[in-house]
Amino acid sequence: MFTGIVTDIGEVTDVRATADDLRRLTIACRYDRGSIADGASIACNGVCLTVVAAGTEGALTWFAADAAAETLAVTTARDWRPGSRLNLERALRIGDELSGHIVSGHVDGIADLVARQDLADMARLTFAAPGPLSRFVAAKGSVALDGISLTVNSVTGDRFEVLVIPHTLKVTTFGALRDGDRVNIEVDMMARYAARLMERP
């Protein structure tokens, strides 16, 4: 489990196909090498990946993780290349502060940035959610975009708007986000389960 509070920006340094439906990703970061164990979970642009190896190179730590067929099918991981920058978050531990909202790291799909308006002290971003997911996005509700916990300001059809504060623009990849970019979206867990319960006879 995660909170949607990004703690580092990593960079993909290597992508290798290890099978027809599996890619091994190597990601450089600033986490302490001693704090990364094999089997640990790290959210990479909102995608929960399992560490299969780790080490150091120069002043940076690196870790490797495998992205399987389902991850490649429903997330932007299929587009990651050496040089891709990723929002990183370590798994939540008992006793950690829950500053964002409960995020599972199980991405639901991909949303498109359709408009960006830079204001004096923040950015207004408008996204288009995939049709089947739009019913889970509600004004004043939570959504995770590329692993960032955000509050939905307004919703119109399949489009929703968020305001991103300067701190978030500075410490995440959203500072460089432009119209047409695609992001991983994870809808609020409570909305998903509430909708499922309403479907039952």
Give the active site residues. Answer: 2, 41, 48, 50, 68, 106, 151
What residues contact 29, with CB distance under 8 A and at least 6 apart?
Answer: 8, 9, 10, 11, 60, 61, 62, 63, 88
How far apart CA 107 and CA 114 sit, in angstroms, is 20
104 phi and psi angles, rounded to 5 deg: -90, -25
Burial track 11-33 (b if 16+ CB lie within 10 A, e otherwise)? bbbebeeeeeeebbbbbbbebee
